[in-house]
Amino acid sequence: MPTAKSDAFVFFGATGDLAYKQIFPALQALTRDGKLDMPVIGIARSGWKVAQLRKRAEDSLREHGGVDKAAFAKLSGQMQYLDGDYNDAQTYDKLRKALGDAQHPLHYLAIPPSMFVPVVKGLAASGCSQGARVIVEKPFGRDLKSAQALNRTLHRFFREHDIFRIDHYLGKEPVQNLLYFRFANAFLEPIWNRDNIASMQITMAENFGVQGRGKFYDEVGALRDVVQNHMFQVLALLAMDPPANRSADAMRDEKLRLFRSMRPLQPGDIVRGQFDGYLKEAGVAKKSTVETFAALRIHMDTWRWAGVPFFIRAGKQLPVKCTEVLVRLKNPPQQVFDSPDQGAVNFFRFRLSPNVVISLGARVKAPGEAMKGHPVELVAHRDVREAMAPYERLLGDAIDGDSALFTRDDCVEEAWRVLDPILGDKVPAHKYKPGSWGPKEANALIDGAGGWNDPRIEPAPKDGK
Ligand code: BG6
């Protein structure tokens, strides 16, 4: 197991969208912080020369955070471009030469999953996988069976601790904060259970559509795009037991135990939706029944959570861009004073985007003779603009060989086990209007638990990210 720092960074898909939006900005930041003193080799099949890759990197940085002259000059100097077909053995021979003396290269597969197999085979046959680590992008399979097959293939060439499955939600500052807040404080743990908590819900709302990614999106839909990965990871951080320590496996063991306790979803636990106009998006099949909205009810069979419903709602073309968790506590057993407004008297709110809010909902007495009150929210608030970008954090961790923020094979498979029974067209996709909170059918799922919490914020710019 290479515990040493990686000594070459190779990225497949160098001319693609992901490199443009996320990888170049992360590479510049890592270079600026002195964490990327190594060859940086971009690979693609675009017939480019290195000058074009440098230009592409510069354009990307202009659009995403700005060019840092000194860091960019250094990064450009380290950059190489390698042109080749992913199915051609010569591509990997060229890569082997370009790697020179590197002992622990890090190969980032920023390419569609259909290309994972030829690339890992090529890396192994050419010796480029020796002592190496590999980063794979989501989606990790399309269901349980394909995820198992993908894991089997990866394991033929790489050991599990050398495989880094990226889920950018785990690199987000507020998501890290969720874990920190839960386990750095003593007051939460005694109440974090079925005796005190009535329900939890996560809403991931986006106020834009598929943004030109129609072809990709139509093959996945909301469940595979954001629920199986991002939302389940947030759910795990909210509900898992305390890890024994900070090690990658201690964290992932607890997540695994939680996923294992989740009942496989039944058709009655899910509502799917599709926004009006989705079928006109470029790349989308004319009669597509793929969901752009999903609402789920999840049950966990553990002593901690038996009987406590967990809800997830994720959708495109909703009124705002915001991801928020609401934990409703049980109401006081007896109403001594005024009867409160409908809903939970006490709650925790964790807003994960666009800003970080952690708040506790309570009631306080209104001034005056009567014992009457009103709800207040005690708020801790942070701006995340200065925080480290998820890809910078995650690529830095992968270079260091720290897999705490990456998903393990067994966790990925357990998450698919939960979703597998309701994937596809098991339940219809109801139409909803862009700018609404999704199909009304989603309300029935949560009516008994106080209804959905619709995050109230100023609408974010329409470009999404
Ligand atoms: C990506 C999905 O993984 O996450 C997108 O493919 C989604 O469809 C995006 O928009 C959301 O990420 P963020 O960081 O903007 O919440």
Give me ligand 1 centre to Cα 307, in Å.
Answer: 31
Mean pLDDT of 69-78: 97
CATH number listed for the domain at residues 8-137: 3.40.50.720
| Catalytic, out of 104, 107, 168, 230 | 230
> Options 3.30.565.10, 3.30.360.10, 3.40.470.10, 3.10.450.50; which CATH number does 170-464 get?
3.30.360.10
What pTM did the predictor assign?
A: 0.94
Give me ligand 1 centre to Cα 210, in Å.
Answer: 10
Site residues for ligand 1, CB cut-off 6 Å = 206, 225-226, 353, 465
Q: What is the pLDDT of residue 335?
A: 82
Query: Among 167, 202, 210, 226, which is best to mutate for testing ligand 1, by the most ligand atoms less than 8 A from CB?
Result: 226
Q: State yes or no: is 230 an active-site residue.
A: yes
Residue having the nearest C-alpha atom to atom 6 of ligand 1: 225
Digit-coded pLDDT (tens) for 96-127: 999 999 999 999 999 988 899 899 999 999 99
pLDDT exceeds 60 at position 375 = yes
Which atom from ligand 1 is nearest to the alpha carbon of 216?
6
How many other CB atoms sit within 10 Å of the CB of residue 366?
A: 11
Residue having the nearest C-alpha atom to atom 13 of ligand 1: 465
Which atom from ligand 1 is nearest to the alpha carbon of 230?
3
Give me ligand 1 centre to Cα 226, in Å.
Answer: 7
**Per-domain residue ranges of the chain:** 8-137, 170-464
Digit-coded pLDDT (tens) for 253-291: 999 999 999 999 999 999 999 999 999 999 999 999 999
